[in-house]
């Protein structure tokens, strides 16, 4: 069954722009991205939108639909009423290139700042032996499709652009947690998580978890465990004393357990 839907879409370049109104046909079973494509085909051929897989797996069509970060390809039109005006804007935390397309290079920059997987010197490729229970925590984080909606919604940088230099955002703090939990990673990541990547900026509002299209429990399974690991290193005198007495992991050496 078709109907005419009211869309309000942000259009502009380099930050300057405005919300423009459209009336567009919607058919049963369609998602917001389908409707935007129909707009391109019928009314606004120069409307810019980034997309790729249309299956919620490439993370390209991140946008804000009625003010909430969503994937355009995974937001069903049936979740709206027919008389509702649907507002679509680009992700707010990143600079706009054109219309709904944002420049997400901030995220690639942050990704490059994290040292890659660092195995021990005495283990050669092919010699890694890990049990499933040792790696399944990290595997949850590997589901990330890098839509960057978690970084977009995080108020630390969304509302305070000046924090971008000091804060890697939930996506990359999760990457640090993934590596820190890895049984064969020996790089020290606790101090750098706090001092260089801004873990302390996170005040646990859980918005990253709320918007994650892969339903990764970013806060509970990555950020809070990483905060606790930082506490072990920096703020817990008993753990410090235990490490001294029992000669467990040094501040720069291999990791516990």
Distance CA 189, CA 180 (A): 6
CB of 211 to another protein, least distance (A): 7
Q: Which residues pair with 62 in a beta bridge?
A: 71
Tell me which of 40, 54, 92, 140 binds another protein, using CB under 8 A: 92
Tokens, residue 145: 């499709």
Site string for another protein, 119-138 (x = CB under 8 A): ------------x-xx----
Please compute, for residue 200, the number of CA atoms within 13 A of its CA located in the half-sphere on the CB side. Answer: 11
Judged by CB under 8 A, does residue 224 bind another protein? Answer: yes
C-alpha distances in Å from residue 225, one per residue of 82, 138, 206: 43, 12, 14
Which CB atom, from 39 or from 100, has the smaller least distance to another protein? Answer: 100
Distance CA 209, CA 212 (A): 5
What number of other Cβ atoms are within 10 A of residue 181's Cβ?
20
Judged by CB under 8 A, does residue 37 bind another protein? Answer: no
What residues have CB less than 8 Å from 234, skipping those under 6 apart?
A: 190, 191, 194
Q: Which stretch binds another protein (CB under 8 A): 10-18, 28-36, 38-46, 113-121?
A: 10-18
Judged by CB under 8 A, does residue 45 bind another protein? Answer: no
Tell me which of 4, 143, 155, 244 binds another protein, using CB under 8 A: 155
Judged by CB under 8 A, does residue 54 bind another protein? Answer: no
Site string for another protein, 202-221 (x = CB under 8 A): xxxxxx--xx--------x-
Tokens, residue 201: 């900026």
Tokens, residue 126: 């092919």
Judged by CB under 8 A, does residue 181 bind another protein? Answer: yes
Whose CA is closest to 90, among 59, 129, 53, 62? Answer: 62
CB of 14 to another protein, least distance (A): 3
Judged by CB under 8 A, does residue 68 bind another protein? Answer: yes
Tell me which of 9, 26, 153, 173 binds another protein, using CB under 8 A: 153
Which CB atom, from 2 or from 81, has the smaller least distance to another protein? Answer: 81
Tell me which of 5, 26, 77, 93 binds another protein, using CB under 8 A: 93
Q: What are phi and psi of 164, to 5 degrees?
A: -60, -35
| 99 CA to centre of own chain | 21
Judged by CB under 8 A, does residue 115 bind another protein? Answer: no
Judged by CB under 8 A, does residue 200 bind another protein? Answer: yes
Q: What are phi and psi of 116, to 5 degrees?
A: -75, 175
CB of 89 to another protein, least distance (A): 6
């Amino acid at each position: 069954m078709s109907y005419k839907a009211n869309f309000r879409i942000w259009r502009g370049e380099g930050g300057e722009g405005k919300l423009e109104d459209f009336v567009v046909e919607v058919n049963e079973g369609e998602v917001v991205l389908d409707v935007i494509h129909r707009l391109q085909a019928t009314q606004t051929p120069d409307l810019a939108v980034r997309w790729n897989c249309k299956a919620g797996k490439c993370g390209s069509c991140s946008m804000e639909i009625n003010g909430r970060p969503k994937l355009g390809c995974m937001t069903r039109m049936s979740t709206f009423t027919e008389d509702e005006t649907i507002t679509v804007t680009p992700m707010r935390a990143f600079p706009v290139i054109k219309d709904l397309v944002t420049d997400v290079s901030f995220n690639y920059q942050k990704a490059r700042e994290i040292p890659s997987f660092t195995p021990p010197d005495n283990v050669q490729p092919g010699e890694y032996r890990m049990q499933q229970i040792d790696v399944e925590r990290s595997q949850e984080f590997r589901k990330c499709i890098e839509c960057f909606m978690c970084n977009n919604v995080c108020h630390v940088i969304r509302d305070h652009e000046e924090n971008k230099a000091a804060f890697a955002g939930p996506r990359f703090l999760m990457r640090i947690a993934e590596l820190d939990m890895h049984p064969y990673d020996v790089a020290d990541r606790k101090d750098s998580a706090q001092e260089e990547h801004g873990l302390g900026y996170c005040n646990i509002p859980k918005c990253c978890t709320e918007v994650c299209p892969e339903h990764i429990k970013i806060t509970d399974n990555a950020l809070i465990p990483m905060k606790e690991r930082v506490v072990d290193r920096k703020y817990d005198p008993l753990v410090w004393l235990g490490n001294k007495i029992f000669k467990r992991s040094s501040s720069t050496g291999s990791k516990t357990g």
